[in-house]
Structure 1
């Protein structure tokens, strides 16, 4: 590897680390050792550990599959441009250009930022048959997916705002 390529790799690594640190600081996760917007490795953290780190409302939704009340979440009406991350671990989940206005009361997206950003599980709770969406990195509950979204996918990822962090395009701390 020549010196220019080595410099480029080192520079990009530093830039990614700086961006990851900016997100961690902006979202108030300085005390969460598992929070990273660049690390996509799967985490195996016990709920007892998450309970020590996460705020109670986030813990209830992300780790105990609670749901925030419709029309109350901070992102359900937001049309700001940027990227949405898992509020538990920092995994990149959705871009604002995949967000659309739906009348369900929760932020809705028609596709994740990459196929392996989320996982899907059958959910038969409360007498309903649904598909739960979890973060692929930390297995936290994000919301559910439905087949009534807009083109090009026809999907509606109905997410809990509390389970998401947002970083606007061009954010610099």
Structure 2
């Protein structure tokens, strides 16, 4: 019964990815659902590995990269063009605020994708370092949860009076977790 459930989840994930890439030019992507699917897929993959059952590696996916569409996070529609967030529908944001949002979302997206890719490569290696894989998985989940939290806070502040001011204040006071900064140094080679 559990095999069927895991298979259905993996099948649903693959179908979502297929529709994500096939409709990327014209569709609106539900970013919350995509993040949830990425988390669930990696979680079930890890659970099946612990049980010693063979299971296909989860695919590494970039949420923003390659998209020429809009992505919906917590009701806020992020407009994407050439791998950049060019605006949030209905909000007039300062250029530096939009740039900060863009940098944070792209940063978290890059971290989650890189961690997923490295974990997948390590699983395929003849001798794998389980502590390294666990660290990558923790950072993968942390990046996705930070992305979810960040976009949720933007959506909350967008509903307040003078949303651009609230969003600017939110961005000014938020920091990137240290473990993700460490992962960024690893991925960039610094």
TM-score computed with the length of structure 1 as normaliser: 0.24
Q: Which has the larger radius of gyration?
A: 2
TM-score computed with the length of structure 2 as normaliser: 0.23
Question: Which structure has more RCO (C-alpha within 8 Å, separation ≥ 6)?
Answer: 1
More helix by share: 2
More strand by share: 1
